[in-house]
């Protein structure tokens, strides 16, 4: 049985893997955390595109994956167009900040977007933002260091950076001019959900992308006739960094 490949710069993509396993319990997954080369968000497009291509080659050649999920907003922005061109027959899903669902959800139409510098500066994000900026006002906040702090499980630093970036976005609430919705535009950030809400206040809605990505993956596999029907699939964890750190994150957040 062929697995689905999933990758991120580190542990962030586990937030996507969690939704994938819930939607596709019979599938096998191979997850690669490219920790040695993280953070992607502060390294530039060429670097991230090269890493994404190398990981695709590895997962296709060594693990015979039947499909790939790019569980990283930064890698999707930098490389998905190249990967689609390199592998035209492969069912392939990426992630991007959920601006559209946020517009549908927000009442004040003032929406904060937390993401890496790489994602926010990308042409792909620029096009998405342009297509929606008549419908809402987006406050774009690059969060340097936050993915790295989550990666290192440095809770003090995670809390300090969440406080800083949440404050920089503005005021929160349901009155006109206040931010009522925050888009988590990096797959690491759902793991800082408690800290983000503690600083923004409980009335704010956080929007992440795990479930829509899982639904899209299901749709593509079904259309290609590639869905598996075993009871419980397996997960193989690979990393270019410390296996113990990835294992600890996977057991803490996914019970693996």
- Which residue among 55, 140, 186, 249 is the active-site one? 186
Q: Is 198 helix (H, G, I), strand (E, B) or coil?
A: helix
As measured in angstroms, the least distance from the Cβ of 88 to ligand DGL is: 25
As measured in angstroms, the least distance from the Cβ of 132 to ligand DGL is: 19
Closest CB to ligand DGL among residues 67, 73? 73
- Whether 72 is a known active-site residue: answer yes
Neighbour count for residue 222 (Cβ, 10 Å):
11
Interface residues toward ligand DGL, by CB under 6 A = 8-9, 12, 38-41, 72-74, 116, 119, 147, 186-188
As measured in angstroms, the least distance from the Cβ of 227 to ligand DGL is: 26
Select the residue whose beta carbon is closest to ligand DGL and give its number: 41
- Which residue among 14, 69, 72, 221 is the active-site one? 72
- Whether 143 is a known active-site residue: answer no
Closest CB to ligand DGL among residues 41, 91? 41
As measured in angstroms, the least distance from the Cβ of 136 to ligand DGL is: 22
Closest CB to ligand DGL among residues 12, 210? 12
Which residues have a Cβ under 8 Å from the Cβ of 236 and sit 6 or more positions away? 3, 28, 29, 30, 31, 63
248-256 contacts, C-beta under 8 A, 24 or more apart: 248/153, 249/11, 249/14, 249/153, 250/11, 250/14, 250/31, 253/11, 253/14, 253/15, 253/18, 253/191, 254/14, 254/17, 254/18, 254/21
169-177 contacts, C-beta under 8 A, 24 or more apart: 169/112, 169/114, 169/139, 169/141, 170/110, 170/112, 170/139, 172/200, 172/201, 172/203, 172/204, 173/108, 173/201, 173/203, 174/107, 174/108, 174/203, 175/108, 176/108, 177/108, 177/110
Closest CB to ligand DGL among residues 41, 112? 41
Closest CB to ligand DGL among residues 91, 210? 210
Q: Is 27 helix (H, G, I), strand (E, B) or coil?
A: coil
DSSP 43: T
As measured in angstroms, the least distance from the Cβ of 126 to ligand DGL is: 16
**Any idea which residues carry the catalytic annotation?**
72, 186
């Amino acid at each position: 049985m062929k697995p689905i490949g999933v990758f991120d710069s580190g542990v962030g993509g586990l937030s996507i893997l969690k939704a994938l396993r819930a939607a596709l319990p019979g599938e096998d997954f191979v997850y690669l955390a490219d920790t040695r080369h993280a953070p992607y968000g502060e390294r530039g497009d060429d670097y991230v595109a090269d890493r994404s291509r190398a990981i695709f080659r590895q997962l296709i050649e060594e693990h015979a994956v039947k499909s790939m999920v790019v569980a990283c907003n930064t890698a999707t922005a930098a490389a998905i167009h190249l990967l689609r061109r390199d592998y035209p027959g492969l069912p392939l899903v990426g992630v991007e900040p959920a601006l559209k669902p946020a517009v549908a959800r927000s009442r004040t139409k003032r929406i904060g977007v937390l993401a890496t510098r790489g994602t926010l500066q990308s042409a792909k994000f620029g096009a998405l933002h342009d297509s929606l900026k008549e419908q809402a006002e987006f406050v774009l906040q690059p969060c340097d260091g936050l993915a790295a702090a989550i990666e290192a499980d440095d809770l003090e630093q995670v809390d300090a950076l969440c406080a800083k970036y949440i404050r920089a976005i503005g005021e929160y609430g349901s009155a006109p001019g206040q931010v009522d919705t925050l888009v988590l535009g990096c797959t690491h950030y759902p793991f800082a959900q408690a800290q983000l809400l503690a600083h923004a206040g409980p009335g704010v809605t956080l929007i992440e992308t795990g479930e829509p990505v899982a639904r899209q993956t299901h749709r593509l596999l079904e259309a290609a006739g590639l869905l598996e029907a075993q009871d419980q699939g397996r997960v193989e964890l690979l990393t270019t960094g410390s296996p113990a750190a990835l294992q600890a994150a996977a057991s803490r957040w996914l019970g693996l």
